């Protein structure tokens, strides 16, 4: 009979596995953190989110191993503002950051603000920024003065160079912009002058990221990998030219997917995958007027530079094998400003002693997905215009002039179509649970909801101001300024 005991024990343990809930490992001590931040990647640009015509298998696998977020919002649908929010956990207009800074700007993220890199320094993390920065190109605003040990990348967007859409020298207003510099720490490493040199950026960023991971495999590290693309102009390295046979955008997505796969394989090779958190998301939605060189908002309305869901709703995946149950999906409202406080809670670090706007969603990562954490969200744009507010699945859009992609057919092959910036959007109330495309105004059917969201907006205006109504706001901090 004794020989039956191991067999019976095996059957019993298998049965218990089938009926007991999954309890993830509790080792959350000082995880390595890799934050991959895409540029203009739309909600519908990953095959796990429904992309058509190509696949992103490595990114899909990352989602299958971790948690995919379906209701994740960028703090603002434009470059500099969205990055300031991600790195500080604050609405960008609270810090005076708006729009996209051009070369030589006298404004930038104030060094007085605390970034994720500076937060993690309290636990002796090694920190690196690779890729696009775009929070001010004056030395006082650059990564080495914002908590990062090293930097390799562009100081601003890859379209801020004196080159035309077809790669020829610009004869328009761009001809006065300086040559695009690729920076290593504080110095110019190379000058980017051609589309082919742009095509090498994804590969170069990935190689630098891998080198940093390999050099810091024995100590906790934070890698902020901010890809310059698919922000136009898009280009790929020689290996990925005509790789898919389905156009340049599909080739670029294949190279981005390769980049993610290379990083994941490196972690596996070094034996540090289990307690490395990978966060993958985007700064805003797609720049739709660039047509076949732009991505997809996945059915949401409008895109980059708008406060409709196509501008703010972005893909988001977090993989952390030692904590997050594989194959998890979070439908709760979350935002990029929530990343900072989530990391602070994971590491048991105090938040900065300033007003913050993010909320920790660590309970979601541990599998507690039923109770909402964030109920409200403020959709600001332009310098400081409150164009919409959100409470749960209700969204109130205020009358405002704004960008629309619906008045002209999109462009092709790197050339944009015109995009009106002053389209007169009316007041409208949307129920995003039934109408995620924001097509059906239901304000007349829900006066109680209108009143609730109006009160929320008034509270926001008193705190952060609102250019549309002339409210100044008492909770704003000064932006970084070069005198």
DSSP per residue, 256-301: HHHHHHHHHHHHHHHT-STTEEEEEEESS---GGGGGGS---TT-S
- The Cα 379–Cα 395 span in angstroms is 10
Indicate the helix (H) or strand (E) that contains 406. Answer: none
Active-site pick, 48, 90, 134, 138: 134
79 flagged as catalytic: yes
Residue 338 CB coordination number (10 Å): 24
Burial 297-335 (b: 16+ CB within 10 A, else e): bbebbbbbbbbbbbbbbbbbbbbbbbbbbeebebebbbb
Distances (CA, A) of 398 to 335, 379, 388: 21, 10, 6
Cβ-in-10-Å burial (0-12, 13-18, 19+) of 193 comes to: middle
- The Cα 217–Cα 339 span in angstroms is 23
Sign of CA dihedral 115, 230, 264, 56: positive
Length of the chain equals 483
Sign of CA dihedral 113, 116, 117, 121: positive
CB 107 within 8 A of CB 136: yes
CB 132 within 8 A of CB 226: yes
In 3D space, the residue among 68, 71, 47, 67 whose CA is nearest the CA of residue 58 turns out to be 47
- The Cα 328–Cα 367 span in angstroms is 8
Indicate the helix (H) or strand (E) that contains 190. Answer: strand 187-192
In 3D space, the residue among 78, 229, 96 whose CA is nearest the CA of residue 153 turns out to be 229
C-alpha 66, offset from chain centre: 17
- The Cα 71–Cα 50 span in angstroms is 15
Q: Which residues are known to be catalytic? A: 79, 134
């Amino acid at each position: 009979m004794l020989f039956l005991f191991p067999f019976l024990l095996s059957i019993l343990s298998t049965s218990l596995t089938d009926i007991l809930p999954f309890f993830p490992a509790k080792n959350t001590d000082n995880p390595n953190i890799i934050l991959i931040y895409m540029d203009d990647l739309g909600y519908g640009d990953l095959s796990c989110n429904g992309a058509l015509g190509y696949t992103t298998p490595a990114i899909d696998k990352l989602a299958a191993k971790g948690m995919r977020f379906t209701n994740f919002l960028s703090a603002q649908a434009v470059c500099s503002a969205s990055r300031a929010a991600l790195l500080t956990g604050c609405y960008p207009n609270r810090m005076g950051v708006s729009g996209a800074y051009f070369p030589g700007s006298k404004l930038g993220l104030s060094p007085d603000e605390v970034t994720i890199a500076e937060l993690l320094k309290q636990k002796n993390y090694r920190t690196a920024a690779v890729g696009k920065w775009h929070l001010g190109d004056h030395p006082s605003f650059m990564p080495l003065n914002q908590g990062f040990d090293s930097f390799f990348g562009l100081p601003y967007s890859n379209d801020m160079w004196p080159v035309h859409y077809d790669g020829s020298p610009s004869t328009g207003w761009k001809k006065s912009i300086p040559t695009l510099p690729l920076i290593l720490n504080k110095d110019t490493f190379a000058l980017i002058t051609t589309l082919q040199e742009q095509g090498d950026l994804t590969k170069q960023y990935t190689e630098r990221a891998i080198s940093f991971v390999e050099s810091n495999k024995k100590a906790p590290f934070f890698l902020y990998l901010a890809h310059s693309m698919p922000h136009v102009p898009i280009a790929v390295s020689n290996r990925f030219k005509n790789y898919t046979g389905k156009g340049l955008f599909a080739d670029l997505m294949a190279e981005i997917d390769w980049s993610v796969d290379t990083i994941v394989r490196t972690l596996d090779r070094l034996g540090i995958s289990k307690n490395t958190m990978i966060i993958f998301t985007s700064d805003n939605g797609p720049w739709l007027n660039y047509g076949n060189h732009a991505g997809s908002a996945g059915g949401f309305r409008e895109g980059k530079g708008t406060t409709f869901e196509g501008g703010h709703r972005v893909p988001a995946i977090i993989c952390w094998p030692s904590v997050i149950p594989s194959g998890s999906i979070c439908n709760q409202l979350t935002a990029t400003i929530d990343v900072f406080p989530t990391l602070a809670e994971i590491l048991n670090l105090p938040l900065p002693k300033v007003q913050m706007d993010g909320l920790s969603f660590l309970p979601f990562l541990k599998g507690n997905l039923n109770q909402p954490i964030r109920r409200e969200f403020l959709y600001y744009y332009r310098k400081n215009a409150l164009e919409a507010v959100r409470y749960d699945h209700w969204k109130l859009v205020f009358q405002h002039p704004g960008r629309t992609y619906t008045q002209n057919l999109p462009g092709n092959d790197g050339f944009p179509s015109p995009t009106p910036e002053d389209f007169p959007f009316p007041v409208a109330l949307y129920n995003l649970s039934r109408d995620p495309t924001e097509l059906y105004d239901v304000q007349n059917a829900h006066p109680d909801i209108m009143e609730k969201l109006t009160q929320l907006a008034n509270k926001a205006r008193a705190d952060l101001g609102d250019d549309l109504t002339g409210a100044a706001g008492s909770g704003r901090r000064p932006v970084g300024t070069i005198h």
